[in-house]
Amino acid sequence: MIKDLMKKIENRTAKVGIIGLGYVGLPLAVEFGEKGFTVIGFDISEPKVNLINSGKSDIDDVPDDRVASLLKDGKLIATADPKLLKQVDTVSICVPTPLSKTKDPDVSYILAAVEWVKNYIHKDMLVILESTTYPGTTEDLILPILEKTGLKVGKDFFLAFSPERVDPGNSKFATNNTPRVVGGITPNCTKAAKAFYETVVDSVYPLSSTKAAEMVKLLENTFRSVNIGLVNEVALMCDRLKLNAWEIIDAASTKPFGFMPFYPGPGLGGHCIPIDPHYLSWKLKSLNYYARFIELAGDINSHMPEYVIDRIRRILNDKERAIKNSAILVLGATYKRDIKDLRESPALDVLKLLEGEGAKVYYNDPHASRIIWNGGYLHSTKLTPALMKNIDLTVIVTDHTAYDYQWIVDHSKIIFDTRNATKKVRTGREKIHLL
């Protein structure tokens, strides 16, 4: 069976199925389509399916023309019909894995996708989970469901885990040149998954098991979460010591060994770093182990928006003003510069906290024209000299490169810069307060 599958992968006749056409699935679908594979993308969202089938993309890193070209060549189609899974040779599951309110893993999207696959699985099919999850998910949760069909893993079908490594807005590293790790249930599963990804990715690193591959992804994002938590705490310390945290970090970065710079900010955003470490923490609690670094970093990072509000309060107090009834402009609503992704953005927390304090809130973001707000929408406000005259405090939360920071400084009364975005402005530095 594996010989037949490997031959199809090698000559690009394998039909590729991808479940979930979001920030992970759509870029992956485009890469395989451009390498000559025929790709069927599956999504439960009819608007998403219709958008893609019209030749358009809602993902920052996938321009419309790439989608349109693949559609024209018959290399990509989107559908909400799971019956088409019986046509594919490979299935990549790229669905969300959020946390519940109690920070327990919500694997309902994975289970729903696996039920789709179970209903249409056939011999010689390769199934790969890409969604971030806790160690053991592929082997303990997915495998038993698929083997209920009577098919034998490693012989009749192949099951592996390969964590997505998507960094939205990264112009240097994309799907094709970001190394992949893969781990299969059996050696044949690993072999098939490795061959599959090698057709579109420059480097593929095989691991001993699916559990090891699942742990790799959690280590990567826990590393970032813990180090961001550390540097955020350093910023809190520097505030009390009357030191400039950014100056301290820049100086430490001159050391050519033993130091890697991370930078403080108003909180964590996106779908990975604020969420993934809690998958590992949750799993370890079931093994009677408390992941102290993860919990501490999570506590520090999650309270950074509140610290931003405290600093705003103090800055305004120094000007004999209160937050209540002050007009406050938040620059940047997305969680990261130069993308339109609002998921888990700390800017949204800052805006809601400001509103709770009685402030008159405004925001501007060139990548997000509106945000969901109190049952409706809050719209991005155009930056004009007339607007800025009425703003008591400008808060830079997301450091988009589209902003003219000198103009912002020149037209603002006071600025609280949580990203050190104004480091290169020439005049008006006396107005600026840094995180």
Spatial distance between the Cα atoms of 339 and 168, rounded to a whole number of angstroms? 7
Tokens, residue 118:
């179970």
The residue ranges of DSSP E strands in 114-202, in sequence order, are 125-129, 157-161, 180-184
Q: Match 């826990």 to its residue by tokens.
A: 222
Instruction: Name the pairing type of β-strands 204-207 and 180-184.
Output: parallel
Q: Is 238 assigned a catalytic role?
A: no
Spatial distance between the Cα atoms of 271 and 290, rounded to a whole number of angstroms? 23
Tokens, residue 425:
């402005």
Tokens, residue 264:
């403080």
Strand partners, 396: 331, 417
Strand (E) or helix (H) holding 395: strand 393-396
Tokens, residue 267:
């909180």
At 79, give phi and psi (nearest 5°). -155, 155
Half-sphere exposure of 290 (CA within 13 A, CB side): 3
Instruction: Name the pairing type of β-strands 376-379 and 370-373.
Output: antiparallel
Strand partners, 370: 379
Alpha helices in 121-257 (DSSP H): 143-147, 187-198, 210-241, 245-252
Tokens, residue 304:
């950074």
Alpha helices in 326-384 (DSSP H): 346-356
Among the listed residues 94, 189, 238, 272, the single catalytic one is 272
Spatial distance between the Cα atoms of 262 and 129, rounded to a whole number of angstroms? 30
* Those residues with Cβ within 8 angstroms of residue 304's Cβ, 6 or more apart along the chain or in another chain: 232, 264, 265, 266, 267, 268, 346
At 274, give phi and psi (nearest 5°). -70, -15
CB 238 within 8 A of CB 245: yes
Strand partners, 93: 19, 129
* Enzyme catalytic residues: 272
